[in-house]
Structure 1
Amino acid sequence: MNYEVITAQWDLGLVALSFAVSTLGAFAALSTAPSIRTRDGRLSWFNLFVTGVALGGVGIWALHFIGMLAYRLPIGVGYGLWETAVSLLAAAVVSAAALGYIASAPFTWRRLAVAGPLAGLGVALMHYLGMYGMRFGGYLEWDFARVGASIAVAVFAATAALWLAFHVRSLVSRLSASVVMAGAVGAMHYTGMSAATVVCTVADRSAVPPGTLHPLELPLTVTLVALTAVALILFDRLMQRLAPAEAARAAR
């Protein structure tokens, strides 16, 4: 059996796209996070779900998956459907759970110290589950020092994201914080990607494993779905903000 270490190249256009989509997802999450906890102190489950999707599904997972597609290999690569779907679900659920835990009571550093690391570990799980879903004729070797570094960055990024979600209010602050959040998530993702070395073990390097998602069709699909989700989330947020004014006008 031939073993060959494969050198990857980065599609910088997709790298930039991953950061742009993540920034939009983070902005949507920061826009909806204040409405998770209602004025009477209860959780709004709908707003929690929406914010979890924005932060976990778009801000984190979309960057992760588009970033994986930016990792160009001169061999056939596909992506396992179940691993990809579970990694998306994990990102959204972990984000929603962490946001809900913090929002369920007045903010304290203790609650952040619990939720941040747990969310970071969940993000790391999502990342490596997604990488496990890569299908090709070979295997991955890992630099565990970089794996550990990526997990540490994930904990920092998740903790920072949760703090920002409940402390940023103005439009300019939300825009700035969105860029910071996307940068932190990107640092975790690309550190994790750098921990992997691809080893090819087959003669036909171009063959894509059957029953997998083909990478050529995925960047546009993921981007369109993510942008549609962000647009719907921001539209819903706008409608929620306009509703009290409309009700007041109708009562006159």
Structure 2
Amino acid sequence: MNSPVTTTFDPALVALSFLFAVIGSLIALTAASRIKAGRTRPGLSSALTIGVALGGIGVWSMHFIGMLALKMDVGSSYSMTETMLSLVVVVVAASLAVSHAAQRPESLPRLLGCGFALGMSVVVMHYLGMFGLKIYGFIAWNLDIVALSMLIAVVAATAALWLALNTSTLTRRVLASLVMGVAVCAMHYTGMAAAEFICTTDSRTAIPQGVGYISAFSLPTLVIVTTVLMILMLSFELFMQNLRTKPATALAPRAR
């Protein structure tokens, strides 16, 4: 018999998800400003920094912390295929969109196109991640709210890109990161509002099993391990970038 699933959110984890979105955005937009300033070439290294920071930490980690904040009165699990594919999609898309916009921030068509691509990458990551959530039942979607979540993501992502690439101060970059954080979280929680979970079994606590599935109890471990690995990757990459951009005179021996 079909019955609605009761859902609540943990406010502390919701706040943590917003913090991750802002931190990831700040790192990514700082890297984008360096491309704009010409201090680093828009190569694979800078693009990877942007993609991992914004797509990986700011969007993917934020999404799954948001999913940890979701409490349901049914058993659930996650498909590793959709979960990890959503990470790859958003990292690649964020890398390309932000680094491409940073090369010519004065171009309005480029900014709008990259803002659209960035916003839609957040949308794709979210709904792909939701597709990976497994319960004994289904999700009924409110398509009007789904469309609203897409609009929020695109408009806010474009605004954040414009702020980040047309300002030179740390204060304004932080503001852009807050805007981007709002964009990601607003899209996520609006998208969650579009979902009505329906249970189709009497065994509400049963956990769906399948090849490549992990239980919801294992999700925190996956999120923590993946996020720590991304932070370590970023730390190493930023360290190497600083070495490469250090003035040659600073490395040369002093004359006696």
TM-score, normalised by the number of residues in structure 1: 0.89
Q: Distance in 2 between matches of 1:27 and 1:228?
A: 18
Q: Distance in 1 between matches of 2:171 and 2:103?
A: 27
AA partner of residue 217 (structure 1): S
Q: Which moved more, 1:196-205 or 1:33-42?
A: 33-42
- Aligned equivalent of 2:208: 209
RMSD: 2.4
Structure 1 residues 188 and 106: CA distance shift in structure 2, 3 A: closer
- Aligned equivalent of 2:162: 163
- Aligned equivalent of 1:218: 219
In the TM superposition, 1:68-217 aligns within 5 A as 68-105=67-104, 107-211=106-210, 212-217=213-218
Q: Distance in 2 between matches of 1:219 and 1:20?
A: 17
**Identity value in percent:** 39
Q: Distance in 2 between matches of 1:123 and 1:245?
A: 34
AA partner of residue 250 (structure 1): L
In the TM superposition, 1:52-67 aligns within 5 A as 52-67=51-66
Structure 1 residues 44 and 34: CA distance shift in structure 2, 3 A: farther
Task: Give the C-alpha shift of residue 119 in structure 1.
Answer: 2.2
In the TM superposition, 1:6-21 aligns within 5 A as 6-21=5-20
Task: Give the C-alpha shift of residue 218 in structure 1.
Answer: 2.2
Given that residues 38 and 44 in structure 1 are in contact (C-alpha distance below 8 angstroms), is that contact kept between their aligned partners in structure 2?
Answer: no
1:188-208 CA distances to partner (integer Å, 9 max, x unpaired)? 100000000010001111111
Given that residues 56 and 230 in structure 2 are in contact (C-alpha distance below 8 angstroms), is that contact kept between their aligned partners in structure 1?
Answer: no
Give yes or no for the alignment of 1:24 onto 2:23. Answer: yes
AA partner of residue 218 (structure 2): E
AA partner of residue 205 (structure 2): S
Task: Give the C-alpha shift of residue 226 in structure 1.
Answer: 2.4
Q: Distance in 1 between matches of 2:195 and 2:7?
A: 10
Secondary structure of the residue aligned to 1:26 is helix
1:103-128 CA distances to partner (integer Å, 9 max, x unpaired)? 34453111011111122222211111
Given that residues 31 and 234 in structure 1 are in contact (C-alpha distance below 8 angstroms), is that contact kept between their aligned partners in structure 2?
Answer: no
Structure 1 residues 23 and 40: CA distance shift in structure 2, 3 A: closer
Q: Distance in 1 between matches of 2:228 and 2:18?
A: 13
Secondary structure of the residue aligned to 2:47 is helix
AA partner of residue 144 (structure 1): L
Q: Distance in 2 between matches of 1:244 and 1:103?
A: 18
Structure 1 residues 101 and 131: CA distance shift in structure 2, 3 A: same
TM-score, normalised by the number of residues in structure 2: 0.88
Secondary structure of the residue aligned to 1:216 is coil
Count of residue pairs brought into register by the alignment: 251
Task: Give the C-alpha shift of residue 179 in structure 1.
Answer: 2.3
Segments of structure 2 that go 5 or more residues without pairing to the other structure are none
Structure 1 residues 165 and 219: CA distance shift in structure 2, 3 A: farther
Given that residues 102 and 115 in structure 1 are in contact (C-alpha distance below 8 angstroms), is that contact kept between their aligned partners in structure 2?
Answer: yes
Structure 1 residues 174 and 54: CA distance shift in structure 2, 3 A: same
Q: Which moved more, 1:80-89 or 1:118-127?
A: 118-127
Q: Distance in 1 between matches of 2:126 and 2:107?
A: 28
Q: Distance in 2 between matches of 1:35 and 1:167?
A: 12
